[in-house]
Amino acid sequence: MLKLIRKYQLIILAIGGSLLMVVFLFEPIIGRLSPDPRKATVGQLEDGTKFDGFDFQNASADLAILKVVAPLLLLPDSSGGLGIEQGSGDTSELHWLLLTKQAQDAGLIGDAGEGMTWIQDLARRNALIQLQQQVQQGNLQFNSQFELQQAIESLATQYEGPITRNISLAAGRTGATEADVYRTLAKARGVDRLYNLFKTLPAYSDLGLMTAAQERFDTVAVNAVLIKGESFVESIPVPSDAELQTFFDQYKDQAPQDNDLRIGYTQPARVKLGWLSLNKQIIQSSIEPDRVELRKTWTLDRKLPEDQRKYPGDFAGERAKIAGAYTESRAMDIMIEADKIIRAKVLATTQGLKKDGDYYELPEDWDSKRPKLEDLAQSVVTGLKEQLQIDIPLPTVEMHTDRWLTNQDIAFLPGFGGAAYRVGSRAIRTPALPNINDTEESAELMTIQEKLPLVDPAAEDQVGNRYYAVLYEIRPAGPADSIEDAGYDRVLRDYRTVKAYEMLNDNLPELLSQAQSTNELSVAIDTAVELGDDDTTRPGIARNILVGSQSVIRGRLASFVEPGLNTEAFRNAVIEATKDIDPLTPPQTIAESPIYVTASIPIAKSVAIAEIVAPRPITVEDFQAQLGIILTNESGSQIQTAVTETQDFPFTLDTLSNRYGYVRVKKRADEEFDESNEDASETQSETESASADS
């Protein structure tokens, strides 16, 4: 046998080689003829709609785009988002597919232009939510809807720029075009319209609508004065250290929203940091274009077919364009080399250090050995000079170690505040640094250690600048450590304001008695002012303000309404005192038997005294003029209440799946299917059996 093989070995080798060559040539053709497994149906609806692997991939791309451009939309509905459910597998993708189908079926999704024009509304939504959070935390207060609207418009302009820049960033990261990104935003806008359409469905009878209008828009005209505790601060003695410490201990582990007085000293997660910047534009401006290289690029481009040339004109006309592309490419190479230099320097300082899990065990003298940002900046200049023979300006170093920075503080830092760390398919924005260790998921993506530069990876902004940060101190969210940590002046003023409020509250019965006995609010004000010192500011009387169940509106005689009066405590006190009065009672009748009302308002740390003028029910003309608004607000409120109580929101994943009759047919070709999911396995088996029977 061996003799036979040796005799014909050349023929055998020739035949075998030919067969291998045939297989090699036909393999791409066979691959093209084979069906793409991603085209297989993954799930289907009762109406015959089918979702394949490509549909789920596109849904995943849409969600990735929203995460970059408008992450707010991925929040729950109650927080201003679209309420897309999160879970294992393709839960989010399926929910997105069903939501967009529902919106598409309702004719609510437009083209890419719809997404483009939505940017301003998204900016306003971001601004509104941020301002609402500030109001809830007691950091802001608005005297009118007009003031709030002005603040929204002002803050929205700061959000439009980042959203627009993130359009390009999202396109680059997902491999989509900007038009694709706008189409995704158009889908999200359609889903948002779907939610709003549901919440504003007419759901009121005529009688119910009139009753709702009466409850919401009937008001009581009053003359009122708000006596603020803060006006009496200087008349309150400065406490001893022990008294102030006792007061601080009472509130140090509370947030302002945790108590009626809106006092709290819990601190958000905070950091002290600094960073080294590699500015791409500065580096690019340092590059002197090589005329020989530019000419070579143009010459090579001329060899391409005319319809494929980047530089179709003559060399002189195209030189600036070629030079721009050359310097940009060269700048990228320099940035990469500078990145290597920085990483090498940091690695050299940690070489040989022991590790405890993901963290290095830093020596006691680490402050003298650690890599300084200034030294790293000089190393970049020196290293690039030696390795690439190029001179660049010394990279800038910024330090913010004189105060604690929260995530909001970082977000407003020029350059660095708009950068992000790219970790696999995830982007972690720099404002998340103070909270990075608060969630297990984020901590697994990035390891942050105090006084060790973050170089793997570096943060990068939308234009390609890179930032190498060092977190010198990290404080997790929690109670303030001390009075100084919360702010001595703040704690002292809070103490004295609360004591002044308690003094006013103790004397409130006497103030009411003075007003009733003299039938004059001014006498009660005089008595209150006497409780303070000579510098106490005398409060004024707001005349004919209109108090309703939902708000307090200034009347024709008042220039504005004190925010402290527009509180539930004051409104309830007025409404309770007038609930048995005929709505058509004229002011003269009430003046014959004056009615005075007092209210203790802890949220404003103030007390209020009001003189009832007369009920002011909603007029027929106002009812007719406000009919659309009344209908929208009240029916939406009723629906929202019903949904909250029954937990039966019609756009959850379960509700949509049941309504559309969604059935999972098989696992996706690009996913690891959870074989332990018995329900999914049974559904798959039953569907495959049914398909076989068919």
Q: Cα(450)–Cα(189) distance, rounded to whole angstroms?
A: 42
List, for residues 311-340, the tens digit of each pLDDT value. 888 888 888 888 888 888 888 889 999 999
pLDDT higher at 572 or 687: 572
Q: What is the pLDDT of residue 668?
A: 52
Residue 633 predicted with pLDDT over 70: no
pLDDT higher at 87 or 504: 504
pLDDT higher at 304 or 186: 186
Q: Is 81 helix (H, G, I), strand (E, B) or coil?
A: coil
Tell the residue number behind the tokens 């992000």, with chain if given. Answer: 420
Average pLDDT rounded to a whole number, residues 3-9:
62
**CB burial class (10 A; 0-12, 13-18, 19+) of residue 317?**
exposed
* 71 cis-preceded (ω within 30 degrees of 0): no
Q: What is the pLDDT of residue 165?
A: 84
* CB 468 within 8 Å of CB 380: no
Q: What is the pLDDT of residue 171?
A: 83
List, for residues 462-489, the tens digit of each pLDDT value. 888 999 999 999 998 889 989 998 999 9
Confidence band for 677, pLDDT divided at 50, 70 and 90: very low
Tell the residue number behind the tokens 């003309």, with chain if given. Answer: 621
Q: Cα(503)–Cα(510) distance, rounded to whole angstroms?
A: 12
Q: What is the pLDDT of residue 536?
A: 84
C-alpha distances (whole Å) from 476 to each of 106, 441, 454, 573 are: 46, 16, 19, 42
**CB burial class (10 A; 0-12, 13-18, 19+) of residue 129?**
middle
Average pLDDT rounded to a whole number, residues 63-67:
90
106: its two tokens: 């309702």
Which residues contact residue 686 at a Cβ distance below 8 angstroms, ignoring those fewer than 6 apart? none
* CB 192 within 8 Å of CB 550: no
Residue 144 predicted with pLDDT over 80: no
* CB 59 within 8 Å of CB 97: yes
Q: Cα(612)–Cα(221) distance, rounded to whole angstroms?
A: 6
Q: What is the pLDDT of residue 8?
A: 63
* CB 42 within 8 Å of CB 51: yes
Tell me which of 78-87, 273-282, 558-567 is least confident: 78-87
Q: Cα(347)–Cα(353) distance, rounded to whole angstroms?
A: 10
H/E element, 419 = none
Q: Cα(66)–Cα(70) distance, rounded to whole angstroms?
A: 5
Is the Cα dihedral 642, 646, 647, 653 positive or negative?
negative
Which residues contact residue 516 at a Cβ distance below 8 angstroms, ignoring those fewer than 6 apart? 594, 596
Using alpha carbons, select from 470, 461, 405 the residue that is nearest to residue 429. 461
Q: Is 63 helix (H, G, I), strand (E, B) or coil?
A: helix
Write out the DSSP string of 485-532: HH-HHHHHHHHHHHHHHHHHHHTHHHHHHHHHHHT-HHHHHHHHHTTS
Tell me which of 159-168, 268-277, 366-375, 680-689 is least confident: 680-689
Angle between helices 91-105 and 653-660 (to 10 degrees): 60
Residue 686 predicted with pLDDT over 50: no
Q: What is the pLDDT of residue 156?
A: 82
Q: Cα(488)–Cα(477) distance, rounded to whole angstroms?
A: 19
Tell the residue number behind the tokens 């935003």, with chain if given. Answer: 185
Tell me how long the chain is.
694
Query: What predicted TM-score, i.e. pTM, was given to this entire model?
Result: 0.57
In the chain, what percentage of residues exceed pLDDT 70? 82
Structural Rg of the chain based on CA atoms: 35
Tell me which of 62-76, 229-243, 412-426, 441-455 is least confident: 441-455
List of E strands, 45-181: 50-52
127: its two tokens: 């601004």
* Mean per-residue pLDDT of the chain: 82
Q: What is the pLDDT of residue 636?
A: 58
Average pLDDT rounded to a whole number, residues 140-160:
75
Q: Cα(116)–Cα(97) distance, rounded to whole angstroms?
A: 21
645: its two tokens: 């109580």
Average pLDDT rounded to a whole number, residues 159-167:
85
Q: Cα(369)–Cα(351) distance, rounded to whole angstroms?
A: 12
Confidence band for 571, pLDDT divided at 50, 70 and 90: very high
The domains of the chain are located at 2-34, 54-199, 219-262+488-617, 270-477
Residue 214 predicted with pLDDT over 90: no
569: how many CB neighbours lie within 10 A of its CB?
A: 17
Q: Cα(534)–Cα(576) distance, rounded to whole angstroms?
A: 36
Tell me which of 346-350, 376-380, 609-613, 619-623 is least confident: 619-623
* CB 321 within 8 Å of CB 301: no
Q: What is the pLDDT of residue 309?
A: 80
Q: What is the pLDDT of residue 680?
A: 37
Q: Cα(274)–Cα(492) distance, rounded to whole angstroms?
A: 32
Tell me which of 219-233, 253-267, 541-555, 659-673 is least confident: 659-673
Q: What is the pLDDT of residue 204?
A: 57
Q: What is the pLDDT of residue 432?
A: 87
* CB 544 within 8 Å of CB 565: no
Confidence band for 238, pLDDT divided at 50, 70 and 90: very high
List, for residues 339-375, the tens digit of each pLDDT value. 999 999 999 998 888 888 888 898 888 888 889 999 9
Q: What is the pLDDT of residue 138?
A: 55
Which residues contact residue 464 at a Cβ distance below 8 angstroms, ignoring those fewer than 6 apart? 280, 332, 335
H/E element, 430 = none
